[in-house]
Each structure stands twice: as structure tokens, then as C-alpha cells.
Structure 1
Amino acid sequence: MPHLSRLNSLALAIALALGAPLLHAATDVETTTVPASSPATAKAPLPLDELRTFAEVLDRIKAAYVEPVDDKTLLENAIKGMLSNLDPHSAYLGPEDFAELQESTSGEFGGLGIEVGLEDGFVKVVSPIDDTPASKAGIQPGDLIVKINGEPTKGLSMMEAVDKMRGKAGEKINLTLVRDGGDPFDVQLTRAVIKVKSVKSQTLEPGYGYLRITQFQVNSGDEVGKALAKLKKDNGGKKLRGLVLDLRNNPGGVLQAAVEVSDHFLTKGLIVYTKGRIANSELRFSADPADASEGVPLVVLINGGSASASEIVAGALQDQKRGILMGTNSFGKGSVQTVLPLSNDRALKITTALYYTPNGRSIQAQGIVPDIEVARAKITREDDGESYKEADLVGHLGNGNGGKDKTSSELKAASGKANLQDQDFQLSQALSLLKGLNVTRSE
């Protein structure tokens, strides 16, 4: 499988940005980094009239604005305007923003743990990250952030809104949210240094594993390989009967990690490819023959918070018919951003390509449609009341084939044990599907 060369820590920390700037969340990024001295492919004549207008506006602002404004501020604001009006994911990165972008895929950063985007002038939650202040406060994908510390967000640029939400660990912040068109409500959060473990795994039931990826960091591919090995070890060294891969509310991350994760489940064929205008934006990634998953039956969970790198994995497994996708439509972020370093620790992050699934599907603005749609729902367990079994009756006959009698109290105690799937309807449906597949295959 042709992997991207690890040019430097930045090269693997910067592409497929979810466009949600860096609210100290996992910005969904990875790309090759183009040197600042890279020559332009085709230079068009400079638009002299527009440049004269720009210079005239600069002079008028300096002369007439109510307060003095220095040239550096005006020029930086002009650059930000150029980038912000291209698309939601392109941006000018000052030294602080550039440093935070490089930190964001290392697995440790400060803030709220939330990925955001813009919708109709409001800041919209794309995805909260597991085990962060945002997820613990109950913030959900799709929530609109209408106020930050009492100040309206309407009309703010993405970077302005993100700057207002940044701060030192330990500081409190109040967000006013609107959910599903309802009344606004306030949530108070405490900023924290966020350490994100990108891969979590556990056994749901004997023979059935659960693997969750919260975001795609540089080392996520290796972590998935280790998690698969541990699940097999926990199963007595035997091949699993089924596996749930949970990509819900995963805002994306490093492209190379998405490729490596996909490759753990595929033995051949294309994983993803990108197309753009510049030469190094044309990339193709294919699977190698190794199969860390051993062909285990696979169900992949996605939802509206699954974006970019998550959609690459889901799209590859769906196109290759390696797994069954279950849940709701994904986010639909199918563009690739390239970071162009500038002088003085600054950079441009601009959209340079679109990525495509093995069958040539562009996910941009459409997302991945699951094979089986299962909406989020709340599970409530009904009590059977006072029920008795044959084993409860005095003088009942024993089982002629041996084995311990199963009384109602023993059955109730066994059913009362809390499992992860008991509180997660989509996960319980995925597990049921895997069991059904095993039943039909064994007949």
C-alpha cells in the first residue's frame, strides 16, 4: 500500500480538515505540506484596477476610521477575508493557530473538546469528543451555539467564535445552545487540558467485540491493530464471531490514519483517492494483503457527527462490501485541505482537492448513506413483574441432561447486569445483526 511519506509531524497532522477550526477539538486534518517557495503553476496577469482599489481602501480606512489602525492589522484582516470567503475550511493561521493545529492531532490539547462549523451565520456543533467537557455536559451534534458568555455569535466568523471559546484550562465558559429548534438553554463548561485516547475497545458478549475510534490521530492505525489483537486474546485466542466498529461523532483527523485503519479490514483494492489542481494533490491509497481483522463479520456505526476521515473509512468498507453500515447519514465533508507554511510561523490552510471512495463517489455535501438506517433511540427495560419458573416449584424434577436449575431469581440477577449495548439502541441493533449473520451462516 503506497503510504504518504512522513515529511514531518505537520504533514501527518494536517489534511482533510473538517473545517471546524480548532476549538481545541480534533481538527480533521492531514495533507502534504507545500514549501512556501513552491512556484505557482500558472501566473495570470495581476488585476491592476482591483489592486488600486485595495490600496485606496487601505488609505481611506487609515485616514478616516474613528480609531487609528496599523498597517499590519489591516493587511492581516485582508488576508483572513481572502481565505474565509473561499469555503468554510480555508483559513489564515497566525502563529498561535498554526501551533494549535499541529497539536490537535497529537492527542493532547486544551479547550472544550468540541468540533464546530458554521450554519446560517450560527456556530453549529459537528461533534463533541468523548470524555471531554463538551461531551460530559451533554452537548450534542447539531446543537447551535447562539451565545458565548452572553454575547451573540450571529455574524461572527468561525475563527472569531473559536477565539472566544478558547482559554486557559480551569476557566469557566457559558454557552447558550438551541437544540432541534427549541428554546435556548445555557450550559456552563470548564475548559480543560484534553487528553484524547482515540481508540477504545471491549468485549460486548463472548465472541463479539466493540471498537470505537473517537478521532483519527497519527497513531490511531497502530492502536486499532493492538485493539484487534487484544479482543482476540480476550476471546481465548479464537477468531471473533463479530465486531462493531463505532465511528459515530468522530469528526475525522489524519488521512493516513484513516487509510491504515481501513487497511486493517481490507486485503486488496482501493481505499481512497484524491483529485485536485496541483500535482501533489493526486493521491491513491490501496490495501495490502495483511488482514488484522481476520475477515470478522463487521458492522460499522455512523451518524451525522461522522465526518471526513470517518467517511473515508466508512465509504471504503461499504464500497468493498467488507462491512454493513448502520446508523444515520454522515456529515458530508469530502474535501482535502493543504497547509502552506509562510514566514514567521504563519500558514495558509486551503482546500486543494476532493477525495473519492473506491467506487468513485464524492462524499462532499452528501455524506455516506448507511446500508441500514437506525435512528438514535432511548432504551427502556420493562419489568416482567413477579414471574416464576419451573425451577422455583417445590419438588420439581431435575434436568435429565444435567446442568444447574435456572430459577427466576438467578435469571433476574443475570439480566440485571449492565452492558454497554443495554443503553445504546444503535449498538444493540448492530450486535443483534451480527448474531443473526452468524446464525444464518452456520445453518
Structure 2
Amino acid sequence: MKKIWPLALWTMMLAQPTVWAEDLPSTPTTDSKQTKVEEVKSLPLTDLRTFVDVFERIRQSYVDPVDDKTLFENAIKGMLSALDPHSTYLDKNDYENLKTQTTGEFGGIGVEIGMEDGFLRVISPIDDTPASQAGIKAGDYIIKLEGKVVKGMTMSEAVDIMRGSIGQPLKLTIQRKGEPLRHLTLIRAKIEFSSVKSRWIAPDYAVLRISQFQNHTARDLTKALLQLKEKNANIKGVILDLRNNPGGVLGGAIGVADLFLDKGLVVYTKARTEGSIEKYEATEGQILPNIPLLVLVNGASASASEIVAGALQDHKRAIIAGTPTFGKGSVQTVLPLAEDKAIKLTTARYYTPNGRSIQAEGIKPDVTIEPAKLEIAKAGEDFKEADLKGHLANPNEAKAAEATNTFVPVDSPDPQVDGEKTVEPTSDSKQPAKTDKKSKSKSKTSKNAPKTPEPETVTDVTPPVAEDKNQTKADEIPSEKRLAEDDYVLYAALNVLKGAAFWQAKP
């Protein structure tokens, strides 16, 4: 009798997917296809008996008692995880986490993570979160949380530890290849999925960063582009930065690609049955027609990011630059099982407009830009004309002695403050107050500008002699040197885009 009820219970569970499938849109099939489906649904009784036998042996002989619910849930997890890395079972906590991500707000440190070899692997840090500010990068491994070893934890257990009340600290240990362990204490913050950010990186050139694709990403991108156009109607080029973008909602990717396409296919998906192809077309009109576009990608650009890059590449609407992408060419569908449980199941593959599947291959960029660090090379000992014995004198040297621009007044010494030279005011005592007022005005103006990290000190920018109406905008644009030092890939991509803008035929 002990073996009969587990068999009956397991048979009932196996029968459940048929009920769930009835909730999905059905595809018309022929009689032959229907027969084939019925054959797939038939249960292998021998394998089922083996399962029941294993189930009963675990219940009777395992070193610690395990409740039946846990065993059944683990069996379901095993079925799904053995299919592919992206199909998984969502228990109550996992399903709640998924809903939390949909709302876009929770208390955490801001990382996209996955499980690899028993450890948490950082897929991508989210921009402007405690994780990204602490220097955590894609590919880092989290090996300890609150002093507890991660190996052996489930993903749900690890996420439960990482999330918590806003303002509360989280201790974690990071392992990066070739570097010593890093012990960090991060303060949990309100994590908001602000998917689009924009800034100017050169006069008339802007970059739009999409951290991940959400339902409203296309709307947010439209708003950002219109704001840029309002500030500068003479935009010469735009960079769409999809680096470290793990993907997201399929509709968000289609909407973003549609903004830059007049018409044509964006992407199509194909499920297991014949006639299951779904095509997604672009609507007429572009938000910035004839503006040169460059899409920046890397090895952490996945899924929805690759849909956008592939569509714009196939339509020759954009230059794809960077390094090959992640190569996730599958579509997952969340299928609710009950009010608090669901499965995330791979249901289709997607293809670019030209019919390319990038599964396990990725999008190959048109222009390869490898990450690099800019360093000034040490100059060797140069041998110049002036070092030659008997070299001719420069005729300008004699005139230099007669120059009048080297005059230095000796009537009064230069005023000194803490050993540094200062400029003496030439008007009455009210002048400094007037200068301070101008300074406050400029600071107030800069707050209304697009949020852009400004350097604390910039040594290669000369301050203007007179007040300029465009001064706020100029301050927001980093110098070429600063951009190259902060993000060499973006700097190189900008130069590629400038070349494309120069050669592009004028409308």
C-alpha cells in the first residue's frame, strides 16, 4: 500500500500539464499531428515505476526525514533544469521575486545573478546601484553572503539573503579571476529599474544606455531622444549602449528596434510545431530619421539586446560595434500553475530578419572594439637637431629678447594665499558677491540638465573668459582624454560613429 499512493499522486501531477496547456492558445493541427501529440502524452510506465521506487527509498532510507512536498518540488525542478539553463520551476518565493521585478522596486544591492558550479555568478551589475558603485563586474563570483558559504545554497535562498530592508547592510565576499578575495559591506538601496539613461559625450553626439528591457523601455527611450533633440536639434549621431544588458521583455526589444526602423521585420519566433511562426513587424516612421546610429555590445549583451542588434544590423540601419554577444537565442514563457507557483519554460527560438539564429553564437559586430586601458607611453631619450654639435641658431631667438609681452610689474608683488597665486579683484568689494551669484545660477542650471557624472577636477579644459549661454552644456560633455580614460570602448565607438556621420549621404 505504501507504493500505491505515491504512484497515484505522481500520476495526478503528470496529468496537470494537460490542464495547464488548455489555458494556452491552441494551434490548428491535422489528424496526423494530433496522433503524434497523443503519442507524446503517453506515460512510460516502466520509468514511472522506477521513479516511485526511488521516491519510496528516499522516504524510508535517507539519513534525515524529508517531507513529500519537498521531494516532489525537487523532482519538478530536476525535470526543468535538465532541459536547458533557462527553464526553471518558480516556487512561491521565486514567483514573488518575478512579480517584484515586474514592479521594478525592491531593497537590494543591484545585480543580475545566475548559479554556476554551486556559486553565484554575476551576470551584470545594474547601473547606479550599490553593486556597480562598489566595482562589482560581470563574471565575478559571490562565494559568501553574511559569512555563509554560498556553495550548497539554492538560488532562492541566496536571493532571500541578498534582499532586505532598504538601508540595511549586506556582507559579501567576491572572487574575481586572478585577484584576491574582496570582502565588501554594501548598504541595500531601493532598486529601481530605470532602463534608459542619456548623456552627451561630444558636441552633437549622444549616448543612450539601456540597462535592461522592460515593458516601458521604448516609451522611456522615446522620451530621452526627444529631450536630446529639444536641447540640440543638430544631432549628428547617437550611440545605443547595450553592453552588459542581460535582456528582458520581448516587447520592449521590439519597441526599441521599431523606433529606428521605417518598416520591415524586426524578429520572428518559431516554436516546436509547424505553423507556429510569429512575426513582429516595425511600424512606419522613425523618431530620428537619417541620424547615424551605432549599437555598442559585448559578451554580456544577451537575449532582447541581441534582438535589437540583429534587427538593426540586418536592416543596415546601424553599425554594430564591440565584441560578440552572449548568444541566447531562445524565448521563455512564464506559465502559472497556481496562484503562487509557475514554471518558466523555453517555448521558442527567435530569428533575426534575415533568418539568423544566434543561439550559442551571438551577434558578431561589424567593428570589433576590445576593452582597453589608456596609458600615456613613456617617452624615450629623443635626439633632436638642437643636440647636434654646430647646429644653426634659430633666428627667432634674437627677436625673443626684444619681445614686449614678457613685462612683469615690480610695483606690487602678486598676492599669495596659502602659497598659491590668486587674482586680485579690480572693482569694489561688491564684485565677489556678484560673482558668487553667477556661480549659484550656473549650478542651478546644471541641475536641470541630463544627469551626467561630472569630473571633480579636469585639468585639460580651459575656463571661458566671458560668460557663455552654452556653458552648462559644455560642462556636461567630458573631454576626449577623460572619456578615453573612463571608457575606452565608448571613446573608440564615438570615433567610428563620427566617421560614419562624415561619409553618410546627406538627406
> Which residue matches 1:254?
249
> Which residue matches 2:309?
314
Looking at both structures, which has the greater relative contact order when contacts are Cα pairs under 8 Å and sequence separation is at least 6?
1
Instruction: Report the CA distance between 1:367 and its aligned residue.
Output: 1.4
- Give the structure-1-normalised TM-score: 0.79
> Which residue matches 1:439?
502
SS at match of 1:342: strand
> In the alignment, residue 497 of structure 2 is paired with which amino acid?
L
Instruction: Report the CA distance between 1:211 and its aligned residue.
Output: 1.0
> Which residue matches 1:427?
490
For the residues of structure 1 that align with 2:461 and 2:89, how far apart are their CA atoms?
61
> In the alignment, residue 67 of structure 1 is paired with which amino acid?
D
Distance 1:289 1:68, change over 3 A: same
SS at match of 1:271: strand
CA offsets, 1:391-435, max 9 Å, x none? xx8569xxxxxxxxxxxx996447997457352111111222222
For the residues of structure 2 that align with 1:180 and 1:374, how far apart are their CA atoms?
22
For the residues of structure 2 that align with 1:362 and 1:68, how far apart are their CA atoms?
47
Count, aligned residues: 389
> In the alignment, residue 114 of structure 1 is paired with which amino acid?
V
For the residues of structure 2 that align with 1:164 and 1:70, how far apart are their CA atoms?
24
> Which residue matches 1:265?
260
> Which residue matches 1:14?
none
SS at match of 1:217: coil
> Which residue matches 1:81?
78
Contact 1:265-1:295 within 8 A present in 2 as well = no
| Structure 1: gaps of 5 or more residues | 1-33, 385-389, 397-408
- Larger helix proportion, structure 1 or 2? 2
Instruction: Report the CA distance between 1:248 and its aligned residue.
Output: 0.9
1:101 aligns with 2:163: no
SS at match of 1:105: helix
Contact 1:133-1:189 within 8 A present in 2 as well = yes
Contact 1:103-1:109 within 8 A present in 2 as well = yes
Instruction: Report the CA distance between 1:158 and its aligned residue.
Output: 4.2
4+ residue segments displaced more than 6 Å: 381-384, 414-417
| Structure 2: gaps of 5 or more residues | 1-19, 27-33, 380-399, 407-458, 465-473
1:126 aligns with 2:123: yes
- Match among 209, 212, 217 for residue 214 of structure 2: 217
Between 1:278-287 and 1:135-144, the stretch displaced more is 278-287
5 Å matches for 1:10-409? 37-38=23-24, 41-42=37-38, 43-154=40-151, 156-235=153-232, 237-238=233-234, 240-277=235-272, 282-379=277-374
For the residues of structure 2 that align with 1:442 and 1:215, how far apart are their CA atoms?
33
Distance 1:211 1:247, change over 3 A: same
For the residues of structure 1 that align with 2:356 and 2:245, how far apart are their CA atoms?
20
Contact 2:209-2:240 within 8 A present in 1 as well = yes
> In the alignment, residue 356 of structure 2 is paired with which amino acid?
R
For the residues of structure 1 that align with 2:490 and 2:174, how far apart are their CA atoms?
27
- Give the structure-2-normalised TM-score: 0.70
> In the alignment, residue 372 of structure 1 is paired with which amino acid?
V
Instruction: Report the CA distance between 1:146 and its aligned residue.
Output: 3.0
Amino-acid identity (%): 51
SS at match of 2:346: strand
For the residues of structure 2 that align with 1:281 and 1:253, how far apart are their CA atoms?
22
